[in-house]
């Protein structure tokens, strides 16, 4: 009896200790840093491991009286084990401290900085390029021209003026007609419901990013901005993979709220990797010889302002595929040129604006479906065999909603 009572008391004391620490973290004096924050700052990993599972997402990411979060403290004080623990637990990466700096920017060493990087490369490298772009060809093009169009590039129209889907969704998003507004509201409700369902299928309640995803969805529902849903896209979750197959719900919502992102419209060059077959490359060669033909993005595409980021991810993919002797695809670097600000190329890490990407080192420019490009140049590096393809953004022509709708019907 004495031994059993002693064990029971020990367990009770341990539970009380955890409860006491959790309470002290939330009920501290206003001018004192929390117990959890101090443990992260001082490298007390035992206390962090004990407290972390019992804290809410808000408590883990709270800004302390000194202006920093626990992640800022661990990052700046060179506590790699604790940074790793916080990030694996779904800690927010985009919270800025009182000085406007993220924990990534506060990193004491390159080792700490590396812990914030994404572990996989699939977002910045296309494995199936014909799923990402559609060649727009003319309905009234002659039969010989249509026969010569490469596989998977058969549908569409011959110029930007014929990109009716893109013109329709932009016209609907910008329309102030009360009737159109009603249609837009209904479409937004359906898209929100569809996106929530997609998210729930991809991220179960036990997933480490579930609290973060739930908070971002709640923020959007509370009219706190479309940026919350874009951040959901950037998370390292199966949501990204699902969106490559079902982009409609999120793309509709972003287009309807595009005015919120006008300060992020990108101008300049961004880069993306690809793996292409010889037929894929021949398709681009085919398109470059035909003036006026444009490509339309079919999916969300992540690109980077830094060419080194795209090249790094290409190299990762090459290393993954080196064991496959039957993979004869070529390595391709896509340069995407935006001569003027493009509202459907969104800078997620723009200076002086809140971060929308969880991985700020990637310097991401998110390219929406229905963005138009023409093929400017194709080169092959004789030394490493890599192809370089340059695409120029083509602005989507403005049109009335009724005209765009009629064109889609026809």
Q: What is the pLDDT of residue 154?
A: 31
Query: Residue 393: what are its φ and ψ, rounded to 5°?
Result: -65, 135
Q: What is the pLDDT of residue 182?
A: 81
Q: Please count the other Cβ atoms lying within 10 Å of the Cβ belonging to residue 384.
A: 8
pLDDT tens profile 135-165: 665 444 444 444 455 544 433 334 455 455 6
Q: What is the pLDDT of residue 41?
A: 97
Q: What is the pLDDT of residue 244?
A: 85
> What are the Cα distances from residue 355, in Å, to 10, 40, 234, 350?
46, 24, 11, 7
Q: What residues have CB less than 8 Å from 31, skipping those under 6 apart?
A: 65
> What are the Cα distances from residue 331, in Å, to 75, 282, 393?
36, 14, 22
Q: Please count the other Cβ atoms lying within 10 Å of the Cβ belonging to residue 66.
A: 14
Q: What is the pLDDT of residue 147?
A: 41
Q: What is the pLDDT of residue 119?
A: 76
pLDDT tens profile 168-225: 666 667 767 666 678 888 989 999 999 999 999 999 999 999 999 999 999 999 999 9
Q: What is the pLDDT of residue 72?
A: 98
- Which residue shows structure tokens 């014929």? 162
Domains identified in the chain and CATH numbers: 11-115 (1.25.40.20), 123-409 (3.90.176)
Q: What is the pLDDT of residue 277?
A: 84
Q: What residues have CB less than 8 Å from 116, skipping those under 6 apart?
A: 87, 93, 103, 104, 107, 359, 360, 361
Per-residue confidence of the chain (410 residues) as pLDDT tens digits?
444 544 444 444 444 544 445 455 544 555 689 999 999 999 999 999 999 999 999 999 999 999 999 999 999 999 999 999 999 988 999 999 999 999 999 999 999 999 999 876 667 776 666 666 766 654 444 444 444 555 444 333 344 554 556 666 666 677 676 666 788 889 899 999 999 999 999 999 999 999 999 999 999 999 999 999 999 999 999 999 899 888 999 999 999 999 999 999 999 999 998 888 888 888 888 888 877 788 888 889 999 999 998 888 788 776 666 656 667 788 899 999 999 999 999 999 998 899 999 999 999 999 998 899 999 999 998 887 889 999 999 988 765 444 444 443 44
Q: What residues have CB less than 8 Å from 231, skipping those under 6 apart?
A: 94, 216, 356, 357, 358
How many whole angstroms separate alpha carbon 192 and alpha carbon 253?
7
How many whole angstroms separate alpha carbon 267 and alpha carbon 40?
40
How many whole angstroms separate alpha carbon 356 and alpha carbon 226?
10
Q: What residues have CB less than 8 Å from 168, skipping those under 6 apart?
A: 401, 404, 405, 407, 408
């Amino acid at each position: 009896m004495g031994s059993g009572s002693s064990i029971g008391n020990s367990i009770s004391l341990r539970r009380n200790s955890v409860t006491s620490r959790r309470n002290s973290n939330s009920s501290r004096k206003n001018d004192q840093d929390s117990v959890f924050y101090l443990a992260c700052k001082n490298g007390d990993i035992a206390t962090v491991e004990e407290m972390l599972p019992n804290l809410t997402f808000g408590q883990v990411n709270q800004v302390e009286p000194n202006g920093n979060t626990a992640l800022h403290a661990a990052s700046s004080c060179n506590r790699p084990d604790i940074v790793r623990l916080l990030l694996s637990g779904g800690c927010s990466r985009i919270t800025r401290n009182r000085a406007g700096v993220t924990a990534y920017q506060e990193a004491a060493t390159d080792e700490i900085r590396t812990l914030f990087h994404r572990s996989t490369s699939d977002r910045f490298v296309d494995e199936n390029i014909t799923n990402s772009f559609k060649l727009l060809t003319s309905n009234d093009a002659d039969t010989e021209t249509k026969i010569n169009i490469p596989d998977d590039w058969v549908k569409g129209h011959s110029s930007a003026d014929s990109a009716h889907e893109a013109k329709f969704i932009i016209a609907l998003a910008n329309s102030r007609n009360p009737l159109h507004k009603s249609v837009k509201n209904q479409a937004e409700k359906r898209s929100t419901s569809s996106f929530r369902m997609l998210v729930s299928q991809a991220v179960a309640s036990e997933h480490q990013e579930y609290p973060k995803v739930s908070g971002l969805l709640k923020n959007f529902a509370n009219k706190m901005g479309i940026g919350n849903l874009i951040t959901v896209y950037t998370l390292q979750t199966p949501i990204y993979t699902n969106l490559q197959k079902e982009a409609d719900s999120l793309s509709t919502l972003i287009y309807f709220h595009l005015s919120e992102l006008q300060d992020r419209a990108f101008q300049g060059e961004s880069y993306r990797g690809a793996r292409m077959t010889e037929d894929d490359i021949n398709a681009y060669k085919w398109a470059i010889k035909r003036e006026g033909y444009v490509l339309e993005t079919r999916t969300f595409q992540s690109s980077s302002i830094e060419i080194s980021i795209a090249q790094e991810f290409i190299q990762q993919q090459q290393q993954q595929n080196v064991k496959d002797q039957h993979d004869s695809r070529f390595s391709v670097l896509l340069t995407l040129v935006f001569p003027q600000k493009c509202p459907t190329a969104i800078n997620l890490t723009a200076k002086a604006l809140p971060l929308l990407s969880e991985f700020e080192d990637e310097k991401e420019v998110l390219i929406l479906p229905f963005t138009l490009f023409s093929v400017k140049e194709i080169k092959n590096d004789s030394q490493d065999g890599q192809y370089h393809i340059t695409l120029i953004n083509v602005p989507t022509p403005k049109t009335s909603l009724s005209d765009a709708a009629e064109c889609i019907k026809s």
